[in-house]
Structure 1
Amino acid sequence: MGQTISKDKAKPVSLKQVQIQDDFWNYYINLVRDVVVPYQWEAINDRVEGAERSGAVNNFKIAAGLEKGDFYGFVFQDTDVAKWLEAVAYLLVTKRDAALEQVADDMIDIIGKAQQPSGYLNTYFTIKEPEAKWTNLTECHELYSAGHMIEAGVAYYQATGKRKLLDIVCRIADDIAVVFGDAPGQIAGYDGHQEVELALVKLYETTGERKYLEISRYFIDKRGQQPSFFVEEADRRGWTTHWNKNKIHIDHEYFQAHKPVREQEAAVGHAVRVVYMLAGMADVARETGDQSLLEACRRLWDNIASKQMYITGGIGSMAHGEAFSFDYDLPNDTVYSETCASIGLIFFAHRMLQLEPNSRYADVMERALYNTVIAGMSRDGRHFFYVNPLEVTPEVCEGRNKNFNHVKPVRQEWFGCACCPPNIARLLASLGEYMYSVKENTVYSHLYIGGQVELMLGETKLQLNQHSSMPWEGKVRYEVTLQQPATFALALRLPDWSSKAEVLVNGKAYTIANVTVDGYAIIDRQWITGDVAELVLEMPVMRVRSHPLVKQNAGKVALQRGPLVYCVEEADNGPQLQQLILPQDSKLEVASDEQLAGGLKVINAEAFRLEIEEWGTQLYRTDSNIKLNPVDATFIPYYAWANRDKGEMSVWVKERV
Structure 2
Amino acid sequence: MRKILTSILILFSGVLYAQSYYPYQGITFNKVHLNDNFWLPKIEINRTETISWSFHQSKITGRIKNFEQAAARSGKLCGVYVFDDSDVYKIIEGASYSLQIKYDKKLDDYVDSLIAVIGAAQEPDGYLFTTRTMGDTHEWIGSQRYEKEHELSHELYNMGHFYESATAHFLATGKRNMLDLAIKNANHLLTVFGPGKKSVAPGHQVIEIGLVKMYLATGDKRYLDLSQFFIECRGKRIYAKTAGDKEATVWETGEYWQDHKPAIEQTEAIGHAVRATYLYSGMADVAALTQNQAYLNAIIKIWENAAGKKTYITGGIGSSGGWEGFGPDYQLPNESAYCETCAGIGNVYWNHRMFMLTGESKYMDMVERTLYNGILGGIGLDGKTFYYANPMEYTTINGKLSGENKRSPWFKCSCCPSNICRFMPSIPGYIYAQKGAQVFVNLYIGSESSFSIDTKNSVSVKQTSNMPWEGNVKFEVGTNNKKGTTFSLNLRVPGWIDGRIFPTNLYEVREISEYGGIVKVNGIEVDVRRNNQGYFEINRLWKKGDIVELNLPMYTQKVYSNEKIETNKNLISIQRGPLMYCAEFADNDGKTSNIVFGTASNFTHNFEPNLLNGVITLSTTAKVFNFTEQEINTSTKTVKLIPYYARSNRGIGEMKLWFPTKITGVRIEN
Q: Is contact 2:442–2:491 with CA below 8 Å preserved after alignment?
A: yes
Q: CA RMSD in A?
A: 2.0
Alignment partner, residue 581 of structure 2: 566
Per-residue CA deviation, residues 499-531 of structure 1 (Å, 9 max, x unaligned), is: 136211111112112x62311111111101000
Alignment partner, residue 133 of structure 2: 126
Q: Is contact 1:61–1:67 with CA below 8 Å preserved after alignment?
A: no
- Rounded to whole Å, the distance in 2 between the matches of 1:250 and 1:45 is 37
Paired letter, 2:363:
Y
- Rounded to whole Å, the distance in 2 between the matches of 1:561 and 1:372 is 15
The secondary structure found in structure 1 opposite 2:497 is coil
Alignment partner, residue 612 of structure 1: 627
Is 2:540 the partner of 1:510? Answer: no
1:574 to partner: Cα distance: 2.5
Is 2:208 the partner of 1:215? Answer: no
Per-residue CA deviation, residues 359-415 of structure 1 (Å, 9 max, x unaligned), is: 11001101111012110011001100000010013667967xxxx6xx421100100
Alignment partner, residue 486 of structure 1: 485
Task: Name which of 526, 544, 550 aligns with 1:529.
Answer: 544
Task: Name which of 581, 585, 596 aligns with 2:611.
Answer: 596
Paired letter, 1:17:
K
The secondary structure found in structure 2 opposite 1:340 is helix
- Rounded to whole Å, the distance in 1 between the matches of 2:464 and 2:372 is 18
Per-residue CA deviation, residues 548-576 of structure 1 (Å, 9 max, x unaligned), is: 01111110110000110000111111244
Alignment partner, residue 79 of structure 1: 86
**Cα separation, partners in 2 of 1:398 and 1:292, compared to 1, 3 Å:** farther
**Cα separation, partners in 2 of 1:263 and 1:66, compared to 1, 3 Å:** closer
Q: Is contact 2:463–2:473 with CA below 8 Å preserved after alignment?
A: yes
The secondary structure found in structure 1 opposite 2:225 is helix
Alignment partner, residue 243 of structure 1: none
Q: Is contact 1:61–1:110 with CA below 8 Å preserved after alignment?
A: yes
Paired letter, 1:287:
L
Alignment partner, residue 427 of structure 1: 423
Task: Name which of 642, 650, 657 aligns with 2:656.
Answer: 650
Alignment partner, residue 633 of structure 1: 639
Paired letter, 1:22:
D
- Rounded to whole Å, the distance in 2 between the matches of 1:573 and 1:8 is 48
1:595 to partner: Cα distance: 2.3
The secondary structure found in structure 1 opposite 2:202 is coil
The secondary structure found in structure 2 opposite 1:320 is coil
Q: How many residues are matched?
A: 610
Per-residue CA deviation, residues 156-215 of structure 1 (Å, 9 max, x unaligned), is: 0011111111011111111112111231xx211121111110111111111111011100
1:69 to partner: Cα distance: 5.6
The secondary structure found in structure 1 opposite 2:83 is coil
Is 2:571 the partner of 1:556? Answer: yes
Q: Is contact 2:166–2:178 with CA below 8 Å preserved after alignment?
A: yes
- Rounded to whole Å, the distance in 1 between the matches of 2:47 and 2:415 is 18
- Rounded to whole Å, the distance in 1 between the matches of 2:32 and 2:327 is 39
- Rounded to whole Å, the distance in 1 between the matches of 2:341 and 2:106 is 30
Is 2:105 the partner of 1:98? Answer: yes
Paired letter, 2:493:
L
The secondary structure found in structure 1 opposite 2:312 is coil
- Rounded to whole Å, the distance in 1 between the matches of 2:404 and 2:176 is 42
Alignment partner, residue 295 of structure 2: 293
Q: Is contact 1:475–1:537 with CA below 8 Å preserved after alignment?
A: yes
1:441 to partner: Cα distance: 0.9
Is 2:478 the partner of 1:466? Answer: no
Percent identity of the aligned residues? 37
**Cα separation, partners in 2 of 1:395 and 1:608, compared to 1, 3 Å:** closer
The secondary structure found in structure 2 opposite 1:545 is strand
The secondary structure found in structure 2 opposite 1:296 is helix
1:225 to partner: Cα distance: 2.6
The secondary structure found in structure 2 opposite 1:280 is helix
- Rounded to whole Å, the distance in 2 between the matches of 1:81 and 1:555 is 45
The secondary structure found in structure 2 opposite 1:168 is helix
Paired letter, 1:508:
I
What does 1:33-432 correspond to in 2, within 5 Å? 33-46=47-60, 54-65=61-72, 70-127=77-134, 128-129=136-137, 131-137=143-149, 138-183=151-196, 186-225=197-236, 227=238, 250-393=252-395, 407-432=403-428
Alignment partner, residue 454 of structure 1: 450
Structure 2: stretches of 5+ with no match in the other structure = 1-19, 242-249, 499-514, 664-670
**Cα separation, partners in 2 of 1:647 and 1:70, compared to 1, 3 Å:** closer
Per-residue CA deviation, residues 573-621 of structure 1 (Å, 9 max, x unaligned), is: 12442221111112211112222211111110110011314x617xxxx
- Rounded to whole Å, the distance in 1 between the matches of 2:392 and 2:399 is 13
Per-residue CA deviation, residues 257-292 of structure 1 (Å, 9 max, x unaligned), is: 111111112111101111111000100000000111
1:226 to partner: Cα distance: 5.0
Q: Is contact 1:17–1:455 with CA below 8 Å preserved after alignment?
A: no
- Rounded to whole Å, the distance in 1 between the matches of 2:473 and 2:623 is 37
1:131 to partner: Cα distance: 4.3
Q: Normalising by the residue count of structure 1, what TM-score does the alignment of the two structures yield?
A: 0.90
Alignment partner, residue 12 of structure 2: none
- Rounded to whole Å, the distance in 1 between the matches of 2:374 and 2:173 is 31
Structure 1: stretches of 5+ with no match in the other structure = 1-5, 47-53, 232-247, 618-625
Q: Normalising by the residue count of structure 2, what TM-score does the alignment of the two structures yield?
A: 0.88
- Rounded to whole Å, the distance in 1 between the matches of 2:175 and 2:577 is 42
- Rounded to whole Å, the distance in 1 between the matches of 2:404 and 2:381 is 17
1:92 to partner: Cα distance: 1.0
Alignment partner, residue 6 of structure 2: none
Q: Is contact 2:584–2:591 with CA below 8 Å preserved after alignment?
A: no
1:81 to partner: Cα distance: 0.5
Q: Is contact 2:21–2:289 with CA below 8 Å preserved after alignment?
A: no
Alignment partner, residue 35 of structure 2: 21
